[in-house]
């Protein structure tokens, strides 16, 4: 039988029918522990009753109305996110890539309003910002860009976690208007920058009149033990993008802005047909409310520390393990060799994990993971890695 799907993915040989919390079940009814959560999407796990209830209620009332009209849930969600982030305005999109597109357009318009005809945005090596033309150009991975040239103009690239490189760009590039950076790289291998990285970028942006734009699509919504990862550094960006866990599976993205950036867009500058519609924003409101009521931000921090300590104690000194690192429930175990085979081996053991940057085991379990499930996750991942390293010295 022909496959009518475009050849854009290499799916693993399993299909899931339903989930419950951190468990997900395949077509045979076999249960798997989900330590990936749809790549940081399902922070509340699967079929959380509060989200299910909100979606069902809203589906019975109104799925969609155009942004030509005020949308009650959108206003409420914007108020809630701005309060938690200390920001002033929000644009809602359908995805993280679209949220980053909005941020990049905002930066360019900000530059033109300052009289800069060819505005430049600094981005970093090893980053991932999406797969639209502008966001794949911003992404610091040649594999993602290859074959799609010509790329979009207007980007300058610096090594991640390299402040001196940013200072050099600042001294030689008068058309820079913004920097877009991840507080912790996700696809780039859970790379955690130096403690002063974000604070120094904040100072550079203030000094040169740049917008500080943070891609918190993977790090936001409590994942790292704070509502937003930049809050660990005690700074506030001018622009921040969210998606993934914001809807716990319902597609929604957001571009938040503060200060002068909040007033850059005017009617007609940007828009979205589905972005921020009644269904998506109702689901996101339920997500935010549940994270708050169940104290899951604090839970992510404590559980993350517990898992990180467990991995470090068992794997930290093992030959072949380069580093065990993480912040909250965003964890990476870097090996000294490619380890993509571990994804299938984990699947065989009824565990969902991911390998990114070729040699980093990435774990993004739901924030509702139980203590017992955390122990299972720790033991299972350690056994997989130990066996793999013993087989391939």
Among residues 84, 91, 92, 128, the one annotated as catalytic is 128
Nearest 5°: phi and psi at 377?
A: -60, -45
52 is in an annotated binding site: no
DSSP code at position 259: G
For the question of residue 244 being annotated catalytic, the response is yes
215 is in an annotated binding site: yes
For the question of residue 75 being annotated catalytic, the response is no
Contact predicate 55/285, CB 8 Å: no
Q: Is-cis flag, bond preceding 335, omega within 30?
A: no
Residue for token pair 């559980």:
303
Contact predicate 145/139, CB 8 Å: yes
353 is in an annotated binding site: no
Sheet arrangement for strand 155-158: 89-93, 253-257, 239-242, 211-215, 176-181, 120-124, 155-158
**Tokens standing for 160?**
């991640």
Please state the separation of Cα 296 from the chain's center in Å. Answer: 17
388 is in an annotated binding site: no
For the question of residue 79 being annotated catalytic, the response is no
Among residues 34, 84, 92, 215, the one annotated as catalytic is 215
Among residues 34, 228, 244, 311, the one annotated as catalytic is 244
Question: Strand 176-181 vs strand 211-215: parallel, antiparallel, or unpaired?
Answer: parallel
DSSP code at position 151: P
16 is in an annotated binding site: no
216 is in an annotated binding site: yes
**Tokens standing for 334?**
């870097």
61 is in an annotated binding site: no
**Tokens standing for 33?**
């522990």
**Tokens standing for 320?**
């072949």
Whole-angstrom distance between the N-terminal and C-terminal Cα of the chain?
42
Please state the separation of Cα 82 from the chain's center in Å. Answer: 18
274 is in an annotated binding site: no
71 is in an annotated binding site: no
DSSP code at position 192: P
| Binding-site residue positions | 96-97, 128, 131, 215-218, 272-273
Give the annotated binding-site residues for pyridoxal 5'-phosphate.
96-97, 128, 215-218, 273
Catalytic residues: 128, 215, 244
The binding site for N(2)-acetyl-L-ornithine comprises: 131, 272
């Amino acid at each position: 039988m022909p496959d009518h799907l475009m050849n854009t993915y290499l799916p693993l040989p399993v299909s899931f029918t339903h989930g419950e919390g951190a468990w997900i079940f395949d077509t045979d009814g076999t249960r798997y522990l989900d330590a990936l959560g749809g790549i940081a999407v399902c922070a509340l796990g699967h079929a959380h009753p509060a989200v299910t209830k909100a979606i069902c209620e809203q589906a019975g009332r109104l799925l969609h109305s155009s942004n030509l009209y005020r949308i009650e849930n959108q206003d409420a969600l914007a108020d809630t996110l701005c309060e938690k982030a200390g920001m002033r305005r929000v644009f809602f999109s359908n995805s993280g890539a679209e949220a980053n597109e909005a941020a990049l357009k905002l930066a360019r318009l900000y530059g033109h309003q300052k009289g800069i005809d060819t505005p430049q945005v600094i981005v970093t090596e090893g980053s991932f910002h999406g797969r639209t033309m502008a966001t794949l150009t911003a992404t610091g991975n040649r594999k993602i860009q290859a074959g799609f040239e010509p790329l979009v103009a207007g980007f300058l690239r610096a090594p991640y976690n390299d402040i001196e490189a940013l200072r050099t760009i600042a001294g030689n590039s008068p058309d820079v208007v913004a920097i877009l950076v991840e507080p912790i790289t996700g696809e780039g291998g859970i790379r955690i920058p130096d403690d002063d990285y974000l604070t120094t970028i904040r100072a550079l942006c203030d000094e040169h009149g740049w917008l500080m734009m943070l891609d918190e699509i993977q790090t936001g919504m409590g994942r790292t033990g704070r509502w937003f990862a930049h809050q660990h550094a005690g700074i506030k960006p001018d622009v921040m993008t969210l998606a993934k866990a914001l809807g716990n599976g319902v597609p929604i993205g957001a571009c938040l802005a503060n200060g002068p950036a909040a007033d850059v867009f005017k009617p007609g500058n940007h828009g979205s047909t589905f972005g921020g519609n009644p269904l998506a924003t109702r689901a996101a409101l339920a997500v935010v409310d549940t994270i708050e009521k169940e104290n899951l931000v604090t839970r992510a921090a404590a559980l993350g520390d517990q898992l990180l300590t467990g991995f470090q104690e068992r794997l930290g000194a093992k030959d072949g393990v380069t580093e065990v690192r993480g912040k909250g429930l965003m964890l990476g175990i870097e090996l000294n060799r490619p380890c993509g085979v571990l994804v299938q081996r984990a699947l065989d053991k009824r565990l969902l994990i991911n390998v990114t940057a070729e040699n980093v085991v990435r774990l993004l379990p739901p924030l509702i993971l139980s203590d017992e499930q955390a122990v299972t996750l720790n033991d299972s991942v350690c056994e997989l890695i130990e066996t793999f390293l013993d087989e391939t010295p």
